[in-house]
């Protein structure tokens, strides 16, 4: 073996070869050039010496088993690299194919995460054993990066599990499973309790199964479970698969799920070697496209930067939060209490009355009861979690609290009042956090004695499901306070982004432009249904008028009034507000306040959305304006991206990673774009292409689309 080979070789007296993948130049093994050349050399040797070999055990020298494809190279690839990527993919798979056809039993030992390429290597072996230890995750998450499994993952899962199971349980959703769940679905065959037991278990299996060195699909007469398009029963149901996928995607430009479906169905109709070629062709089309680049940037590199503490002040030691006090037991406060308790942090939940506080705890009780009924928790765990939440109406119960999170009504005076009630009771250096979504933090901090410990911590609703928390730094917020809150957010298993203070901060300010743009289209005479369709085809998780009803139209009125008052106080003049006119017509003219009020842009029956309100069409002459659908899509996407650039220019946000992840996880900016900043960078033609299109929109629809000068630099 050459010195460059990253795969160690150790053969025992029984003839079993243990191969250990361990790239010395990286913290994790990836499918880079060194891996490919090493695997080629190793498989050559296995075939050359197979008469003296009784079996092969594949292991990793890293904490993770194998990290997958080399994303640093993939993100650079363009259409001109298509042939190289296609050939690279085939080379990689040819050696895995030679490994599984060695004629000797090959076992994979999964000691850590085996995601993407790592699992694809394992699938090319005859038996998989996983250690039931922390950090083991098994799955094919490529679709979440705009890719498909290009190392044989599509082909082998289809042959192992059948088309329907492979597509729904492994490929189209990118599910990641722990060892037990992976064994239940058949991705691994055996589980051991420690990493040390892996190799002995693998050797024992080889000795007990010397004739199991053949894959099921290489046995003559093998048939894919559930059938293929040539099977009449399966063929009858096949049209439902793309129909359901279309329903899920709602017209959004997401090529990966479509490519996965095509590769799976087409590959099921040919032999495995041709199926691997089909898979490589679709993989190449995705790698060389711009959507995969956008999604890799956001969901791998940007998320990695955030999770690595990119926006956390450096050189400040971690301090664990030991007791949280939540002011306000409404929906937000109740949700915050739950996520704290779920992370094992004791929490006091306070409201004006004990009944209101207990009702807030009831929110957690309902979640736990549901989890218990579905077998996702145990009675013991549920009781332990709920015991960490103490409902109260007495400020004295905040003794010992080292982090206060205020979640009362959006009134500056009320917020200042509730802080003053507990400020002298909590720990002397307790953090004081406000869950406001729009009110300036610097102003709220004037209501407390320790403004350096005051900070904004904006959760999103519903708190137990939304993954993002927006941390807002006021003018006097200290680095230590910011670092402590950043660590707390990670401790409760949320993703933190950090922004500076201003009205609306980052997320509320940016989503406001999206909602306003869509509502303004109603005033222009555009069909409401067309506006909703444009939002869906842009890739937003909720259509804009539907979202407006969810956000509550009276709240929008209130925010407008506050924004107007603030602008007048600063001597600024606000632009015309056609969206505000539409909202006023609905709320004041027709008592339509949104979903909670039972009527808004939509009609509701028993709380369920029924249809768009016909009164919109009559009053705003819907259908009198028929601009191109792509213009409507671009207006939504561009207005948020332009507002984000203004946030950068004003210093409200300073990190592109925070902007991208914040926009996707917090306010539903379409995932295929890679986020609001990546949409600009990844737009066809780059920033120059974005600027040119923005100027076209400005000429047709108004100066709000004029790109900031900073985008032209």
**What would the DSSP string read from start to end of 390-434?**
EEES-GGGGTT-SEEEE---S-HHHHHHHHHHHTTTS-TT-EEEE
Q: Are 297 and 277 in contact (CB under 8 A)?
A: no
Q: Which of 519, 526, 578, 522 is nearest to 551 (CA)?
A: 519
Buried/exposed 507-524: b ≥16 CB within 10 Å, e otherwise: bbbbbbbbbbbbbbbbbb
Q: Are 335 and 463 in contact (CB under 8 A)?
A: yes
What are the start-end ranges of the H helices in 253-327?
Answer: 255-267, 272-287, 290-296, 303-307
3-class DSSP state for residue 9?
strand
Burial of 668 (C-beta count, 10 Å sphere; 0-12/13-18/19+): middle
126, 127, 290, 458: the catalytic one is 458
Question: Edge-to-edge strands of the sheet including 403-406?
Answer: 389-392, 347-350, 324-327, 403-406, 431-434, 454-459, 468-473, 495-500
What's the Cα-to-Cα distance from 140 to each of 68, 118, 149, 157, rounded to whole Å? Answer: 10, 9, 7, 10
What's the Cα-to-Cα distance from 564 to each of 437, 577, 650, 652, rounded to whole Å? Answer: 17, 11, 19, 20
CB neighbours of residue 77 within 10 Å: 18
Alpha-carbon span 216 to 157, nearest angstrom: 12
Alpha-carbon span 206 to 532, nearest angstrom: 58
Q: Are 21 and 59 in contact (CB under 8 A)?
A: yes
Residue 458 catalytic?
yes
For β-strands 389-392 and 468-473, DSSP reports them as: unpaired
Q: Are 408 and 350 in contact (CB under 8 A)?
A: no
Catalytic residues: 458
């Amino acid at each position: 073996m050459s010195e460059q080979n990253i795969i160690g070789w150790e053969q025992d007296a029984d003839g079993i070869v243990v191969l250990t993948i361990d790239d010395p130049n990286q913290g994790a093994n990836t499918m880079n050039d060194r891996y490919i050349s090493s695997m080629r050399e190793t498989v050559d040797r296995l075939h050359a010496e197979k008469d003296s070999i009784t079996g092969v055990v594949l292991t990793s020298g890293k904490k993770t088993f194998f990290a997958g494809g080399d994303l640093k190279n993939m993100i650079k690839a363009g259409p001109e690299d298509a042939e190289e990527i296609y050939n690279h993919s085939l080379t990689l798979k040819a050696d895995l194919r030679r490994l599984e056809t060695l004629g000797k039993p090959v076992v994979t030992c999964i000691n850590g995460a085996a995601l993407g390429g790592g699992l694809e290597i394992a699938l090319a072996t005859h038996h998989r054993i996983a250690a039931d230890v922390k950090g083991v995750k098994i799955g094919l998450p490529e679709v979440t990066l705009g890719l498909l499994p290009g190392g044989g993952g599509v082909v082998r899962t289809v042959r192992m599990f059948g088309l329907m199971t492979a597509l729904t349980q492994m490929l189209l959703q990118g599910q990641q499973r722990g060892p037990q769940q992976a064994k239940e679905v058949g991705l691994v065959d055996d589980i051991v309790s420690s990493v040390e037991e892996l190799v002995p278990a693998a050797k024992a299996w080889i000795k007990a199964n010397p004739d199991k060195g053949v894959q099921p699909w290489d046995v003559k007469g093998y048939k894919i479970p559930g059938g293929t398009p040539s099977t009449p029963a399966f063929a009858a149901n096949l049209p439902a698969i793309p129909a359901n996928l279309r329903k899920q995607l709602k017209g959004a430009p997401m090529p990966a799920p479509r490519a996965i479906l095509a590769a799976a169905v087409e590959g099921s109709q040919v032999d495995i070697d041709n199926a691997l070629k089909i898979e490589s062709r679709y993989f190449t089309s995705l790698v060389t496209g711009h959507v995969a680049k956008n999604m890799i940037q956001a969901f791998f590199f940007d998320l990695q930067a955030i999770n690595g503490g990119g926006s956390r002040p450096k050189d400040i030691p971690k301090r664990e939060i030991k007791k949280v006090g939540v002011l306000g037991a409404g929906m937000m406060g109740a949700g915050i209490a739950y996520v704290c308790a779920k992370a094992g942090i004791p929490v006091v939940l306070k409201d004006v009355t004990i009944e209101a506080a207990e009702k807030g705890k009831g929110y957690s009780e309902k979640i736990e009861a549901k989890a218990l009924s579905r077998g996702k928790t145990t009675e013991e765990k549920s009781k332990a979690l709920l015991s960490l939440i103490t409902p109260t109406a007495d400020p004295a119960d905040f003794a010992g609290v080292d982090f206060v999170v205020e979640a009362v009504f959006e009134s500056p005076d009320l917020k200042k009042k509730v802080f003053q009630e507990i400020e002298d009771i909590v720990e002397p250096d307790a953090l004081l956090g406000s869950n406001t979504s729009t009110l300036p933090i610097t102003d709220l901090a004037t209501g407390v004695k320790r403004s350096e410990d005051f900070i904004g911590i904006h959760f999103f609703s519903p708190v137990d499901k939304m993954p993002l928390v927006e941390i807002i730094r006021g003018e006097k917020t200290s680095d230590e306070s910011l670092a402590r809150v950043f660590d707390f957010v990670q401790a409760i298993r949320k993703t933190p982004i950090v922004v500076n203070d201003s009205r609306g901060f980052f997320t509320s300010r940016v989503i406001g432009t999206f909602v306003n743009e869509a509502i303004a289209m109603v005033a222009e005479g555009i069909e409401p249904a067309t506006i909703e369709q444009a939002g869906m085809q842009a890739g937003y998780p909720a259509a804009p008028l539907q979202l407006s009803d969810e956000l509550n139209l009276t709240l929008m009125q209130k925010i407008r009034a506050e924004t107007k008052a603030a602008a007048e106080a600063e001597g600024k003049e606000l632009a015309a507000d056609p969206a505000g006119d539409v909202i006023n017509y609905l709320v004041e003219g027709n008592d339509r306040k949104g979903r909670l009020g039972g009527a808004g842009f939509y009609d509701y029956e028993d709380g369920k959305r029924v249809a768009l309100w016909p009164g919109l069409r009559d009053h705003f002459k819907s259908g009198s304006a028929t601009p191109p659908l792509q213009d409507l899509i671009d207006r939504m996407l561009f207005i948020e991206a332009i507002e984000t650039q203004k946030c950068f220019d004003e210093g409200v946000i300073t990190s592109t990673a925070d902007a991208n992840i914040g926009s996707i996880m917090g306010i539903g900016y379409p995932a295929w774009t890679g986020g609001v900043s990546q949409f600009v960078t990844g737009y066809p033609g780059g920033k120059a292409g974005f600027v040119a299109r923005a100027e076209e929109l400005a000429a047709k629809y108004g100066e709000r689309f004029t790109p900031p000068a900073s985008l032209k630099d």
